[in-house]
Amino acid sequence: MSIQSSWGYLTENKTMAVDTTVNEHKTDKKMAEMAVKRRSVVEPPQCASPTEKGMVSELVYNEHQPAINHILLPLLRQSGNENRWLLWVTPNQRLSRQWLINSGLPLDKIVQLTQIRPIASINAMEKALASGNYSIVLGWLPELSEYEVNRLHLAAQRGTALGFIMRPQKLTHQLNSPPVRLQIHSIYYH
């Protein structure tokens, strides 16, 4: 008898039994407590941290500032030690092999999608995140709707992967904003 069916059996018998004695009631209660304990051992915890389940974040960067190297490269190097792949979804762009070597990233764990239309890159990133085969997926994507971002978040949680939507900073935005700005959103500090 499975845990779920034993729980149903116990609750049905408990409500159906009208003339139970005190000892029978205690036995039913003990059985129900044991079933709940077994059930909590079998089920995975529901409140895991976002990084354990996966997440997607948008990273706005300036191609002329080395901050991306200091923030993203250590994470990529660490993830390169896992048994999963690193995916770069870069429509019509090619990674520099020399840059990858100089950065210390494992060439044998990097996959790049270049021959893909920008609109198809959203679906490709979603499928890659959900697959569980990639520890990190970086995507240079077109503007996304809230619905598409939510789809990517759910896919990352299913595949326990990290996704980064990469956004190069626009020149007009650079002129209107301070030269160096890092904005970190946290649920711990407000």
Q: Is residue 105 part of a domain?
A: yes
Question: Taking the mean position of all CA atoms in its chain, how far away is CA 147?
Answer: 16
Mean residue pLDDT across the chain:
74
Q: Is residue 183 part of a domain?
A: no
Q: Is residue 5 part of a domain?
A: no
Contact 67, 182 (CB under 8 A): yes
**Domain around 144:** 56-168
64: confidence class by pLDDT, cuts 50, 70, 90: confident
Q: Is residue 175 part of a domain?
A: no
pLDDT in tens, 153-190: 999 999 999 999 998 887 544 445 555 555 555 565 54
Q: State the pTM of this model.
A: 0.64
The CATH number covering residue 136 comes to 3.40.50.300
What is the predicted pLDDT for the residue at 60? 87
Assign 3-class secondary structure to the chain. CCHHHHHHHHHHHHHHCCCCCHHHHHHHHHHHHHHHHHHHHHCCCCCCCHHHHCEEEEEEECCCCCHHHHHHHHHHHHHCCCCCEEEEECCCCCCCHHHHHHHCCCHHHEEEECCCCHHHHHHHHHHHHHHCCEEEEEECCCCCCHHHHHHHHHHHHHCCCEEEEEEECCHHHHHHCCCCCCCCCCCCCC
Q: Is residue 10 part of a domain?
A: no
Q: Is residue 26 part of a domain?
A: no
Q: Is residue 89 part of a domain?
A: yes
What is the predicted pLDDT for the residue at 33? 52
Which amino acid, residue 122? I
Mention every residue, 6+ apart, whose C-beta is less than 8 A from residue 113.
87, 88, 89, 90, 91, 121, 124
Quote the number of domains for the chain: 1
pLDDT in tens, 83-132: 999 999 999 889 999 989 999 999 999 999 999 998 899 999 999 999 99
pLDDT exceeding 90 applies to what percent of the chain?
A: 45
Q: Is residue 157 part of a domain?
A: yes
